[in-house]
Amino acid sequence: MQLREVAELEANWTDDLHHELKSTGILAKRPLQKNAATNTFCAIATCITDMSHITKLDVLKLYKNLLRYGQELKLTDKDYFCERIRYEFRKNRGLQEQSDISFNFEKGAVLLIRRSHVDYSRVPQLSESDLEEQFVRGSGPGGQATNKTSNCVVLKHIPTGIVVKCHETRSLDQNRKKARDYLITKLDNLLNGDSSVQAQIKAVESKKRMDKDRRREKLNKLKAEWKQRESIE
């Protein structure tokens, strides 16, 4: 499993080390949930403000949260992301110098803190009692395995009337899950508008493009001024 290496070290923690983790504020008072990366970024940001107190245990906890965060990714290859985290963990677990420990902690923490710029707290929750689900035959290429199998999911949200259809895979279970994800996205856009996750991500990407264009224009201007100053055609 992707957490195996971290778990092996975690199993050797003593009560004193456990107490030290609690005192740093990194260790949550309750068991970490699936969205642990989101719940702990505030504590991580606090630690960054005082890098002199960062320990190897803080770095270990950070790698664990990064691996869990990797399981939530949708637009990035999860296996590639987690493999990179495992590689960094293996490379840095023998660090001794405080400056090296602090540097690697800050480098990894940036990933979680950047994620906090998108607010997921308003994403609506689906209630199965509000859903009307049908399974119909698929269409398109694939022969009988597609056209004679009722694994296409049609999902309707009764309170709003929103309907989504999913036939992306041959697995009925996967199509059901994806249909619910699509429905949540549509509900989020309908109920939250500019505050929806999709709108926030679009705004962040737009800002990145604008910043990139601004930096490019500034660089081109500096190059032009330098060429003019040096009389270069």
Residue % of the chain over a pLDDT of 90: 25
Residues 23 and 97 in one domain: yes
Residues 20 and 109 in one domain: yes
Q: Quick check: pTM over 0.75? A: no
Residue 63: its pLDDT value, please?
Answer: 75
pLDDT digits (tens, 9 = 90+) for 170-199: 888 999 999 999 999 999 999 999 889 888
Residues 104 and 11 in one domain: yes
**Token pair 């957490």 in the structure block, residue:** 3
**Which residue would you say has higher pLDDT here, 49 or 68?**
68
Residues 189 and 210 in one domain: no
Angle at 156 between CA 150 and CA 161, to 5 degrees: 150
Strands lying side by side in the sheet with 162-166: 131-136, 152-157, 162-166
The structural domain count of the chain equals 3
Give backbone dihedrals phi and psi of 152, rounded to 5 degrees, phi first.
-90, 125
pLDDT digits (tens, 9 = 90+) for 91-129: 766 766 767 767 667 666 666 655 556 777 889 999 999
**Which residue would you say has higher pLDDT here, 89 or 201?**
201
Range of the domain at 133: 128-194
Residues 223 and 132 in one domain: no
Residues 6+ positions from 21 with CB-CB distance below 8 Å: 13, 27, 57, 58, 61
